Structure 1
Amino acid sequence: MARDQIDMTPLQSRDELVAWLEAGVKPESEFRIGTEHEKTPFTLEGHHPVPYGGAKGIGELLEGMKLLLGWEPIMERGNIIGLYDVTGGGAISLEPGGQFELSGAPVETVHQTQSELMAHLAQVREIATPLGIGFLGLGMTPSWSRAQIPVMPKGRYKIMTNYMPKVGKYGLDMMYRTCTVQTNLDFASEADMVKKLRVSLALQPVATALFANSPFTEGKPNGFLSFRSEIWRDTDNARSGMLPFAFEDGMGFERYVDYALDVPMYFVKRGDEYIDVSGSSFRDFFAGKNPAFPGQRPTLSDWANHLSTIFPEVRLKRYLEMRGADGVPWGRLPALPAFWVGLLYDNDSLDAAWDIVRHWTAPERQALRDDVPRFGFKARIKDRYLFEIAKECLILSHAGLRRRGRIDHLGRDESRYLEPLERIIEAGRSPAEEMLEKFNGPWNGSVEPAYREYAF
């Protein structure tokens, strides 16, 4: 997110694209956990969107965070649009509608993720509260129309805003009205990457159901438990989805490169300028056939930027990104890295998880993914409810975290971060179902109480 452009060497061969991904391979001792989360800023008074400019705007919030943290500002055309921690590797960035994102530093344990979140929460509060800004932990803004939401001053978003309506009906909702939490995890080899990619793609609907909490649009129930997840079904299908090819024989870094070469591009960055090349493929650019740059070849930075504009349920970069979860209140954020670390960073749990999903077909996986936004745990695959599968995954994750044995100063292992998910399974319903009950009961048909109960 933070630094779009790094390496301006022109690319000569497809092998370099493959090598760029392959460079992510690392020994297990160097495995790290990265957690990114977005939250929606709102005015404490009146619960309105927060503009970028002005004395109480998002620009001021970032300026305040810069002074507090001493992080490097990320500037675009004179506007502060993010912050970067040179020492630790964390970053703060803005999504198109002002959603405030912390991209956590790569850490070794979920305990450290928790500490990072606690520190971030305290820092953000210190600056935001005097500005009259609060933050909401939901997968989608519950009450605002798209027209009400301000646009952040970032060049790439302008290009995406123009392009999105051409390729799907919900792209602008995705950009301006949704929030997610995602976990980034490492792989030890190409084979390890493929196994983790397959398991996590197949099980992404489990995370969607466990974290589902976007049941409201413009103040009313929208008929879904995770409308954020539904939005991704019609945002831009050329760059999102369940990657059926990942389950085919011969899957590896090369196969992903071939997929990415054909995904339409959004932009090319030169200096501070974002050049709109939307709709043309990276493959054509690579062949010197990009209409905006006739005869020119892309650089490694163009490749890195392009990979960050592909949005499947699990994304491959130099690590794997789990992308299926709604944004949640801060107490539940560490549960996402805990869930995936327990499943993917413990070989016994990874094998057992593969056993759950290995016989599913591409159409079955797709149907599950299509059903989960509306039905949550009641979605089915083969003859099983997703609820049973989620329960099984939680047991595997718990066992994996216990075997990892990473202990905090009080002697507790990382499995304690699964507690919010275990409570959801015990109750037998997703957070969205709980919110809908409140909406129909104590909230008296209003979403306004969400700004108190689900705020950071």
Structure 2
Amino acid sequence: MINSKEQIIKYFESGIKDTKDFRIGIEHEKFLFNNQDDKRVDYSKIKEMFSSLLEFGWNPILEKGNIIGLNKGGKNITLEPGNQIELSGDKLITLHEACAESHDYLFELKQVTKKLDIKIVSAGFDPISKLKEIPNNPKQRYELMTKDMPLGGELSLDMMYRTCGTQLNIDYNSEEDFVKKFKIVNSIVPISIALFANSSIVEKKNSGYLSYRSKVWQSTSRGGLPKLFFEELNFEKYAEFIINFPILFIQDKDTYISGLKYTFKDFMDGKIDEINNRLPNESDLTTHLSTIFTENRLKKYIELRSMDTCGWDCLCAGPAFNVGMLYGNLDEVYELISNWDKEKIINAYLEAPKKGFNTQLMGKDLFYWASTLLDLSRKGLDDRDILNKSGKNETLFLNHLQKLIDNKTTNADHMINKFSNNEDLSELYDE
């Protein structure tokens, strides 16, 4: 049972790994639409889809008899509130392996979606549907979240039902290493928003934003970029942050109970009558950590969460950008960002969804910083010098971003240009 701050600190310490054991974990979400009517797929179509994927060796994950996901080896396919699907990849050593995993998944997905006449959209925000048009599913926690989340953020339901992101999970080899990496990933959030912007079209119109997804996450309950994250945030300070953070829900056996009235401290102090005042276990702590929706967060690894979903051709660009900096060139990147002013970072964070590369940070625009960080990332990947079978190192996954920098245009700009020419919905679907 967990009843002290020290136990939570030990939980974070248990994530410490030798550098040689560092892993890369990529998660990415996709929207699914019926080809016939351009409507988001409902749960009955998801069941057909999951059933077809079983032929590729996936195993069903059930909740009260309902299929809510699949797993195979160290990877999972999970079901999001509006029937978006997410691949949570295995923990792998190289970007080559991680990207091969994604392409294997794409191959399987394409066989199934073709058979079921489903189209995929790789965008940070649903470009077609109104919120009220999106079907839900029987995953229990979502019913409770749909009720409680809007109370703390006006766009929380848009976040749940209409956004898709790419996430990267990375390791740390000491508390000091965590402190450096966490400060970097929070400082570069505005740059990540601008560089990976891919959600400009909303309800079949140009939204005026390059990353409308990021705008939504800024107005989501339990989200944002706390000022605390720009300090030298060690395990103890992060433990204090999550202890005093409200609970979203408590899983008690096979029932979900609203945590609206409670913080995790109340849970640790045995003050929750609805569960007979029992104390939290490690599973409860893990759930709490995964329902804090900040731009980055700590579990037994660091989760980076500020990237819009990217098309299949650039899916590995975001992970490569961050791995090059954080695993390959940490000290040089840390030196660059260490004196940035947190107020200026937060201001850039708020402006980046709309202004993109034109946002100002520390006297330069985000295009300058994206270009600078891309060079530092490439240097880091060159230093890692991990080769594929063709003898190429991991810098090949930065080619997409280099093209964006060379042309000074993001995925969002391409989407606006393509769609605005004829407002053809087919331009929004993956090839």
Q: TM-score, normalised by structure 2?
A: 0.97
Alignment of 1:29-428 (within 5 A): 29-53=20-44, 57-69=45-57, 71-85=58-72, 88-236=73-221, 239-249=222-232, 251-346=233-328, 349-428=329-408
**Contact 2:419–2:425 (CA<8 Å) still a contact in 1?**
no
Distance, in Å, in 1 between the alignment partners of 2:248 and 2:136 is 18
Aligned residues: 431
Secondary structure of residue in 2 paired with 1:292: helix
Structure 2 unaligned spans of 5+: none
2:425 is matched with 448
Q: Which residue of 2 aligns with 1:434?
A: 414
Equivalent residue letter for 1:354: Y
SS at match of 1:449: helix
Residue 439 of structure 1 and its aligned partner are, at CA, apart by 2.9
Provide, for residues 253-306 of structure 1, a one-character-per-residue CA deviation record: whole Å limited to 9, x for no partner: 111111111221121112222122234211111111124235321111111101
Tell me the alpha carbon deviations over residues 294-338 of structure 1, each in whole angstroms, 9 at most, x when there is no partner.
532111111110100011111111111110000111111111110
- Cα distance in 2 for partners of 1:122, 1:439 equals 26
Q: What is the DSSP-based 3-state SS (H/G/I as helix, E as strand, rest coil) of the residue aligned with 1:47?
A: coil
1:24 aligns with 2:1: no
Which sits farther off after the overlay, 173-182 or 254-263? Answer: 254-263
How far off its partner does 1:447 sit?
Answer: 5.0
Provide the C-alpha distance between the structure 1 equivalents of 2:205 and 2:297, rounded to a whole number of angstroms.
Answer: 32
- The 3-state SS of whatever aligns with 2:339 is coil
CA distance in 2, matches of 1:73, 1:435: 35
* Contiguous gaps of at least 5 residues in structure 1: 1-9
2:187, 2:230 within 8 Å by CA — same for their partners in 1?
no
- Is the Cα–Cα contact under 8 Å of residues 267 and 277 in structure 1 kept in the other structure? yes
Residues 191-211 of structure 1: per-residue CA shift (max 9 Å, x gap): 000100001110122221111
**CA offset digits 1:132-167 (Å, max 9, x no partner):** 112110001101001111112111111110011111
Give 1:382 deviation, angstroms: 2.1
Displacement of 1:170 in angstroms is 0.5
RMSD between superposed Cα atoms in Å: 1.3
Q: Is the 8 A contact 1:143 1:447 kept in 2?
A: no
**Given residue 37 of structure 1, which amino acid in structure 2 is its aligned partner?**
H
The answer to whether the 8 A contact 2:127-2:428 is kept is: no
- Check whether the contact 1:35–1:184 (CA below 8 A) recurs between aligned residues: yes
Q: Distance in 1 between matches of 2:326 and 2:80?
A: 28
Structure 1 residues 215-237: Cα deviation after superposition (integer angstroms, max 9, x where no partner): 1111111111000000011111x
296-305 vs 188-197, greater mean Cα deviation: 296-305
**Structure 1 CA distance, aligned partners of 2:223 and 2:158?**
15
1:22-46, CA deviations, whole angstroms, 9 ceiling, x for partnerless residues? 1110000000000000000111222
TM-score of the pair, normalised by structure 1: 0.92
Q: CA deviation at 1:438?
A: 2.4
Measure the CA separation in 2 of the matches of 1:12 and 1:220.
Answer: 51
Cα distance in 2 between the residues matched to 1:220 and 1:279: 39
Change (3 A) 1:60 1:283: same
Assess if the C-alpha contact under 8 Å between 2:378 and 2:395 holds in 1. yes
One-letter identity of the residue aligned with 1:24: G
Is the alpha carbon distance of 1:192 and 1:137 closer, same or farther for their aligned partners in structure 2, counting shifts above 3 Å? Answer: same
CA contact (8 A) 2:183 2:231 kept: no
Q: Which amino acid aligns with 1:435?
A: M
Distance across 2 between alignment mates of 1:362 and 1:399:
26
The DSSP-based 3-state class of the residue aligned with 2:275 is coil
Q: What is the CA–CA distance in structure 2 between the aligned matches of 1:206 and 1:195, rounded to whole Å? A: 17
Output the CA distance in 1 between the equivalents of 2:108 and 2:11.
35
Percent identity, please.
37
Q: Which amino acid aligns with 1:351?
A: D
1 CA distance for matches of 2:62 and 2:418? Answer: 42
Residue 4 of structure 1 corresponds to: none
Kindly provide the CA deviation profile for residues 96-129 of structure 1, in whole angstroms up to 9, marking residues without a partner as x. 0011100000001110011101100111111221
